[in-house]
Amino acid sequence: MIEIKDLHKAFEENKVLCGINCTISDVDTFVIVGRSGIGKSVLLKCITGLITPDRGEVFIDGESITRASRADLLRLRQKIGMLLQEGALFDSMTVAENVAFPLHYHRIYPPATIEKKVNYFLELVEMADYRDAFPNQLSGGMKRKVAVARAMILEPRYLLYDEPTSGLDPSSAGVVEALILKLRNEMKITSLIVTHDLDLARYVGEHIALLEDGRLTAILVKDQAFGPDSPIFKHFVYNRERVHQQHGYN
């Protein structure tokens, strides 16, 4: 379980997070939607301990990652995998080398075990045939699949996704969406996704929250989130249609 309590973060005069509170239960797919630049990535970095909040705490399985010692922070981070925007693969490494990187970094497995784990996770994301390819030889959707394999290689309990379908064509986005569900259903992974892609939220989300003005102003189950009276529906769908009408595009 991930618990976020009264989380605040500002950068000089720019208040980004202004009291985030939520609980993400095990094997949930929790989607936070919000417009670009509103602080979704900052929230993920606070959860992983990459950014220290000004106030509030994040708990991973009951342990505070915010107040953890360096040793405890490294241990807690091994419970969390993170898919960065656009995959963030290393261009100079092959697919297999990219996936193996976290294992080499943490130095917790011998080479033979690393090879087996890399093969397993490349098979899981259906990229085993491309293990010797370089990122510039892959499509956008294929890069995201490799990035998921890399995020999974330490076998985390939680997987965090930062705009996982951003910049992808509909077909490639569909591949990523299906993979998120596969990991939840087959690996029992708890997922936290931040995005402005409503199609992604509709397809994979079990709980959907709206990030607005530094707070989660609504947390709803999927059936509620996209009803006409939902604040999420009004924020994204109604406002877009209103802009269209203002410009004469009905």
List domains and CATH numbers for the chain.
Answer: 1-27+34-79+201-250 (3.40.50.300)
**pLDDT score at 167:** 83
Task: Compare 246 and 142 and report the one with higher pLDDT.
Answer: 142
What pLDDT, on a 0 to 100 scale, did the predictor assign at position 92? 94
Q: What is the pLDDT of residue 102?
A: 87
Paired tokens of 197: 């892609």
The pLDDT assigned to 62 comes to 94
Say whether pLDDT at 20 is over 70.
Answer: yes
Q: What is the pLDDT of residue 131?
A: 94
Mean pLDDT of 77-100: 88
Q: Could you tell me which of 127, 146, 156, 174 has the C-alpha nearest to residue 84?
A: 146
Structure tokens at 22: 């939520």
Average pLDDT, stretch 88-103?
A: 92
- Mean residue pLDDT of the chain comes to 88
Most confidently predicted of 16-30, 79-93, 220-234: 16-30
Please say if the pLDDT value at position 242 is more than 60.
no
Contact 193, 205 (CB under 8 A): yes
C-alpha distances (whole Å) from 118 to each of 10, 18, 113, 179 are 39, 40, 9, 17
Give percent of the chain above pLDDT 70: 93
Q: How confident is the model at residue 44 (pLDDT cuts 50, 70, 90)?
A: very high
* The pLDDT value given to residue 250: 53
Interatomic CA distance for residues 152 and 80, integer angstroms? 9
Question: What pLDDT is recorded for position 179?
Answer: 86
This prediction has a pTM of: 0.86
Strand 29-33 with 190-195, pairing: parallel
One-character DSSP codes across 100-156: HHHHHHHT-S-HHHHHHHHHHHHHHTT-GGGTT--GGGS-HHHHHHHHHHHHHTT--
Per-residue pLDDT averaged across 153-176, rounded? 88
**Torsional class of 58: left (φ above 0), alpha (ψ -120 to 50), beta (otherwise):** beta
User: Where does the pLDDT of residue 221 fall: very low under 50, low under 70, confident under 90, or very high at 90 and above?
Assistant: very high
Mean pLDDT, residues 23-39: 90
